[in-house]
Amino acid sequence: MDAIVTGSSINFRQSVSRARSTTTRNSPSRASDLGMSLSKAEKAVSDFDKALDLLKNNPAEQRLDVHMSYSRYLELEECWPKIKAARNISSKYPSLSYNSVAETVTVITIPRDLHEVGAADLVNSIIGNANIFLASHGADASLIRRIKDARASDRKGRGDYARSKKMADSVIVFAAGTVEGVKTMIAIEVGFTENYNALCEDKDFWILGQHVDVCIFVCLEESPRFRNPRTPFESVADVDAEVATMMQNVAADFDRDSARGHYGSIEYRGHKLVGELREAFIEVWRVNRRRPRRYVYMIQDSLSLKAPPKSFGLRIRDLVPQNYLADWHIPDGDIVFDGDEYLVSLRQFMAETARQRYFGFISP
């Protein structure tokens, strides 16, 4: 979807005025420097205003990564609570984060359900199967309940990332005793609107800046990427009825694709509401490892694997500290993953994402 952004002409004029006041008429070199400084000033103001506009308006499925100094980011962060209060925003989106190593501000607006379920279903599977493993080895609720999903909270980094702030798509923590506190065990990041290089920057924040031992990528490649339709659409009197009609019309193709394991596009009235899900895999990064392992390839060339793996390399020690396992006499072991069930969920939420996008297109 194309972002609609606006700039602040007042702030830009002030920047231009200040730059001009430092020059003289008779100095060509100063004039050249002025041209460069004006260009930089214009870009800085433009980037700031783009970020501010996304925070104010929260159009769906937008991600903005812009280079910004830390001082300029602080100005943006100061505005953000006021915007949230004025617009009564209580959800985690839009989110504002900062990577101090790359000097990059990231704004992410409200995503579609396909992105959200990519993280939520994985977390539910990991925690649920870890609990089954622990219970089968004699653990009771006093240990099991310490493993928690803590997705909706900002985290600040350490060391080189001390000025950074980020919220993961999901975080699994272990709530230890009062002295030990809560330890982040696993961070999960979903690449749907986010490209792979950006995921790797996220991973560096979690492993280097938060000292998390495991970071998991869920990579979902939609092809082609969704673009909000530009073709005019007639006025719709009953939006809900029109959406229901759309879903009925695409049902036959959707069911045919489901039967043959094909994650094809969803189209209606010439608009591609969801592109093909060309690829889906889970990648696990660990501390002190230079390379990840793509443990689970679930979809390739828009076709699901006939027998997805039943594990993607997570162990019970990835969720429970070793001293707790020793106290309870619990051995380490693999955490089961139901790839078939996960694929069913992805397909269901492809349809839901099509519904959300179409509703957003035709609703006033």
Distance (Å, rounded) from C-alpha 257 to C-alpha 47?
42
**How much is the pTM?**
0.83
Max distance between CA atoms of the chain, in angstroms, equals 85
CA distance 135 to 124: 16
312: enclosing H helix or E strand: none
Q: Would you give the end-to-end CA distance of the chain in angstroms? A: 17
The answer to whether 103 touches 70, Cβ cutoff 8 Å, is: yes
User: Is residue 113 within a helix (H) or strand (E), and if so which, with residue range?
Assistant: helix 113-136
Helix (H) or strand (E) holding 38: helix 28-57
pLDDT at 6: 30
Secondary structure of residue 61 in the 3-state scheme: coil
Q: What burial class does residue 290 get, using C-beta atoms within 10 Å of its C-beta: 0-12 exposed, 13-18 middle, 19+ buried?
A: exposed
Q: E strands within 90-196?
A: 95-99, 104-108, 147-149, 155-156, 165-166, 170-175, 182-191
Residue from 121, 2, 113 nearest 353 by CA: 113
Instruction: State residue 310's pLDDT score.
Output: 86
**What pLDDT, on the 0 to 100 scale, is given for residue 44?**
60
User: Residue 3 and residue 107: Cα distance in Å, rounded?
Assistant: 12
C-alpha distances in Å from residue 330, one per residue of 137, 164, 177, 189, 277: 6, 37, 19, 29, 40
Residue segments in the chain with a per-residue pLDDT below the cut of 70: 1-45, 152, 179, 229-234
Model confidence over 278-287: pLDDT tens digits?
999 999 999 9
Q: Are 268 and 358 in contact (CB under 8 A)?
A: yes
| CA distances (Å), origin 356, targets 107, 141, 175, 340, 362 | 21, 39, 36, 25, 10
Q: Which two tokens stand for residue 206?
A: 């979690």
Ramachandran area for residue 189 (φ above 0: left; ψ -120 to 50: alpha; else beta): beta
- Can you give the length of the chain in residues? 364
Q: Decide: 242 and 236 in contact? Cβ < 8 Å.
A: yes
Q: Which pLDDT value is given to residue 212? A: 95
For 304, the token pair is: 């699901």
Q: Residue 229 has what pLDDT?
A: 67
